[in-house]
Structure 1
Amino acid sequence: MTGSYISIQNGDKSFSGYLAVPEVGHGPGIVLCQEIFGVNAVMREKADFLAEEGYTVLVPDLFWRTESGIELGYNDEDFQKAFTLYQNFNENLGVEDIQTTLDTLKSLKECDQDVGLGVVGYCLGGKLAYLAACRIPEVACAVGYYGVGIENHLDEAKKIQGKLVLHMAEQDQFCPAGVRHQIIQALSAYKNVQSYVYNNVDHAFARPHGTHYHKPSALIAHERTVTALRKQVGPDYDLEALWEEHVRFEFDTRDVKATMATMVAEPYVNHIPTLTGGVGYAQLSRFYRHHFVHNNPQDMTLTPISRTVGVTQVVDEFIMSFTHDEEIDWLIPGIKPTGKYVEIPMLGVIKFRGPKLCHEHIYWDQASILVQVGLLDPTGLPVAGAVTAHKLLDETLPSNELMSTWPSSEGKSID
């Protein structure tokens, strides 16, 4: 937990809220609405995560009218208590408490004043995010994860002024297929509403460490959430410039400390073909210092081919070329220098969290490298050497030469 609790004034009474702030000390404001288990460790972790994305996040204790300070786990006993609290919860008052929380958020110096506000919620909070989008005009962007009972308030959708994103689980027993179809059909009439269904996952698929947690779906949902928030309330980051700075520290100045400073507190790098890199600050620093930054040939060059810059990530396509005049731990581990010149196409998927790199997934054809350094005889194998890089630069070079069946289609109909 990196945030702290503050008091949210409601007339002559008050309730608490967990406040998480970005590293820079301020950001667009988001109210994060809890599951039925209260402002527990999972909700605080979610808040801290969004703060890393650049947002000032306030998680109100929405059960305060019944019992303040609820922090439940996910065993049977806690679930029964949570369900009882949910049954006794007044959703209309809950939306009023979200409005109060938004007012408190706007008054904080940590909340950017010249941009819109967001509401994100899970489970019970997912429905409340929907209702907030309908009833609170100043909500510029609302995101609901597997909200329960939205179908009972579809008539309110016409009042949504901002952006609404709903994440729905295909196997959610609390929102079965018929109900989900009803919601999606009703909301499809509104251009400012997007609904996503995640196949083969259940309710709470985005709850870290939970029984139903499904990492691929959670990651895609988070990316869609942050994309919507960025477009509606900001903040706006120049990811291309951030990525170029990182690469400069890696390959030009070869400065490990500066390289790590461009990344989040616990980043990771995964070079897919060789399983090299590191997870977490300590292991990645070790990898960079002893096996990467100072472990590349002096003539190593990166030739850019294409670059796609999204809201949360950069995808870089490039050719890496070098003389294999020293052992390269991360690329060809265990292979002594051969003196061969190598040209290899590469693809990097670079994810950002806020203004810092979160992870790198780097792909290349390892067989092509082995062919070029003389360790793999391509005869009779569907592999190629430097021509893979050459054809990326010149698409007119012959295609299909590795396909023995290619001549058999000559002159055949293409209809």
Structure 2
Amino acid sequence: MTRLKVRAKATLEKTMAGITIKISGDSARKFTGYLALPPAGRGPGLVLCQEIFGVNAFVRKMADLYAEEGYVVLAPDFFWRQEEGIELEPDEPSIKHAMRLLEGVRDEDAVSDLNAALTVLRRRPELDGQCGVVGFCLGGKFAYLAATHTDAAISIGYYGVGIEDLLDRADHLKSKLVLHFAGNDAFCDESARAKIFAALQQQKNASLYVYPGVDHAFARFASPHFDKRASALAHDRSIAALRRTLGPDFDLEVLWERHLQLEFEVRDADATMATMVSEPYVNHIPTMTGGVGYTSLRRFYQHHFIHANPPDTRQIPISRTVGATQIVDEVLFCFTHTCEIDWLLPGVSPTARYVEIPLVGIVKFRGDKLCHEHIYWDQGSVLAQIGLLDAEHFPVAGIETARKVMDETLPSNTLMKRWAKSAPDAP
């Protein structure tokens, strides 16, 4: 298909957290889009394609989320030819309304609007780099159209409907394509997915993912079908693909090391919180300590963590894995139990015992800010080392767990009384 030529320009109107821009497309009329800017003020561009409910609160929230990840995000109104400024919620009357609007949407018009939105992004002073496309439901199909009909550098579609009818262009991918599918999606069922996979799976620029056990709209907040696990995994895969193709590149190790310095050396709760998103959370899994949201987490840091660690606390690095959106740290956490440690041993008086435990932290970032932490350790080993759990009567080990992490040649299976019976020379 010959690339459609469009005129595009934007004027600004303040609205919500972002701005509304007016776009000149392939006619004299203008349509609008919601524009969200990254905290740094500049970044690569993303066109965010709506579901069948228009540029509603969910679309704006997603635009803001991707902006936090570092992108200049534009969510155009693809229903402007049928009804301008439509904002629907997924209730029964709105679904009927949306389906009537959908009947008037032509693929060639969607491609025209995609090109107009891409042109607007490329002319904005905030743009730094290339542009991509992300879409949900109807927008998932538009993302596929973007990959086959526009020069977007990458296109990502969530549970797109109708892609199986557009596979004549499967051999004409112009850029990277990522598609996420719901395993229980009646709108794109197993038969439809089979056709899509047969056409695209061997394409070097295509990455296809199915999320078993979840339904259509699994990534829409507040949807009955919202699945946090699948949504988070799909988002991580999307951001990883966007980072590789568009950037921006954040040095997560530097950001994490600064956060640790403020926690354990500077011991400044406000400075620590400044390294995080506006509403972060921390969960120390074995004791369920931490906090959700700024107010709760700052209280935790100030009164129960930063100033509650023994003076000789040390963290000895073992390994670190750095991904596109998160860091996994494996450390030895060492201390003498000379004070009550609220987050690790809440309510336990000091025992003056020395403790070493392997500890794993999974640290998620959103853009250049820390989003959340999941911290894991063996609480049984801690309790054994301070004398609150008799290791002679329970299948737990004390400081030996830390020692074996550092030296894998130390004996294995010492807790298994039946281990000796499986030896080749055992009677």
Question: What TM-score do you get using the length of structure 2 for normalisation?
Answer: 0.95
Please name the residue that 2:379 is paired with. 366
Please name the residue that 2:136 is paired with. 122
Indicate which of 304, 314, 318 corresponds to 1:305. Answer: 318
Q: Which sections of structure 2, spanning at least 5 residues, go unmatched?
A: 1-15
The 3-state SS of whatever aligns with 1:350 is strand
Shift of 1:343: 0.4
2:284 aligned with 1:271: yes
Please name the residue that 1:50 is paired with. 66
1:118-166 CA-partner distances (Å, limit 9, x unpaired):
1000000000000111011x21110000001101111212221211000
Question: What TM-score do you get using the length of structure 1 for normalisation?
Answer: 0.97
- 1:12-411 map, 5 Å: 12-112=28-128, 115-136=129-150, 138-411=151-424
For 1:266, give the aligned amino acid.
E
Shift of 1:12: 2.5
1:360-385 CA-partner distances (Å, limit 9, x unpaired):
00000001000111111111211010
For the 8 Å contact 2:149–2:174, the answer to whether it is kept is no
Structure 1 runs (4+) deviating above 6 angstroms are none
For 2:226, give the aligned amino acid.
Y
Q: Which sections of structure 1, spanning at least 5 residues, go unmatched?
A: none
Please name the residue that 2:22 is paired with. 7
Evaluate the alpha carbon distance shift between residue 408 and residue 45 of structure 1 in structure 2; reply closer, same or farther with a 3 A threshold.
same
1:311-340 CA-partner distances (Å, limit 9, x unpaired):
110000000000100000000000011101
CA distance in 2, matches of 1:211, 1:362: 30
Shift of 1:350: 0.3
CA distance in 1, matches of 2:425, 2:44: 61
Please name the residue that 2:10 is paired with. none
For 2:305, give the aligned amino acid.
F
The 3-state SS of whatever aligns with 1:118 is strand
CA distance in 2, matches of 1:176, 1:320: 48
CA distance in 1, matches of 2:104, 2:425: 72
Shift of 1:66: 0.9
For the 8 Å contact 2:357–2:377, the answer to whether it is kept is yes
The 3-state SS of whatever aligns with 1:28 is strand
CA distance in 2, matches of 1:87, 1:171: 25
For the 8 Å contact 2:38–2:68, the answer to whether it is kept is yes
1:48-86 CA-partner distances (Å, limit 9, x unpaired):
010111111000001001110000011100000001111
For the 8 Å contact 2:334–2:356, the answer to whether it is kept is yes
CA distance in 1, matches of 2:297, 2:343: 12
For 1:9, give the aligned amino acid.
S
Evaluate the alpha carbon distance shift between residue 405 and residue 88 of structure 1 in structure 2; reply closer, same or farther with a 3 A threshold.
same
CA distance in 2, matches of 1:66, 1:291: 56
The 3-state SS of whatever aligns with 1:71 is coil
Shift of 1:412: 6.5
The 3-state SS of whatever aligns with 1:336 is coil
Number of aligned positions between the proteins: 410
CA distance in 2, matches of 1:276, 1:291: 9
CA distance in 2, matches of 1:100, 1:210: 30
Please name the residue that 2:13 is paired with. none
Evaluate the alpha carbon distance shift between residue 408 and residue 18 of structure 1 in structure 2; reply closer, same or farther with a 3 A threshold.
same
CA distance in 2, matches of 1:318, 1:56: 37
CA distance in 1, matches of 2:209, 2:425: 43
CA distance in 1, matches of 2:425, 2:368: 54
For 1:122, give the aligned amino acid.
F
CA distance in 2, matches of 1:148, 1:141: 19
